Structures are given as structure tokens and as C-alpha cells.
Amino acid sequence: GFLNNLLVTPIVKEVEQITSTIIETLPTEQEYLKGKATVKYCNDEVREMGINENDTIAIDPFGGLTFWLNEKEYWWLRTNEVFAKYE
């Protein structure tokens, strides 16, 4: 149902930035870790699984709906797209 959803933010993949005094470096597009996200808002069902806000979770990398709010990217997931919590 519609109440079995949660809001997560993607985790940015750390990329080594090469710097140079001769060549101007251009900003690169952010890459996200596949199958991993941080919980921002959750429902009672995932709380019963021991998952709370700000937890890092394993998710279906092909699930969810992407949307932007105040220039920040979020993913709207169904509870069944959550696989595990990272400790």
C-alpha cells in the first residue's frame, strides 16, 4: 500500500580528484553508490525491522522513484526494496 514507503538520500561515491596547476580541472558529475542509501524518513514497518532515520541501508539498485526537493535529490522506495541495514 501507499503507507509502506520510505524516503532516502543517495550516498555519493568518493572519487579521487586529480589537480593540476597547468590544466584546468572540470567538476565531475556525482556518482552514487549502487544499492546503498541513507534513510531520511521511514515508516512503522521498517522501524520494526530496526531501521531508523539516518541509518545506512542496502536497497534494490533498480527500485525507487527519484525526485528533487529544495535542490536535493531523494529516492522514494517501497519497504520491500529495503534488503538490510549496515551496522
Q: Provide the pairing of β-strand 5-12 with 32-41.
A: antiparallel
Cα distances (angstroms) measured from residue 23 to each of 29, 30, 53, 65: 19, 21, 42, 38
> Given this model, what pLDDT does residue 63 score?
84
Answer with the residue of higher pLDDT: 26 or 75: 75
Q: Give the pLDDT band of residue 16 (cuts 50, 70, 90).
A: low
- The span from the CA of 10 to the CA of 73, in Å, is 7
- The span from the CA of 10 to the CA of 16, in Å, is 19
Instruction: Dump pLDDT digits (tens) for 29-55.
Output: 678 889 999 999 998 989 999 999 999
- For all residues of the chain together, what is the average pLDDT? 85
User: What share of the chain has pLDDT > 70, as a percent?
Assistant: 79
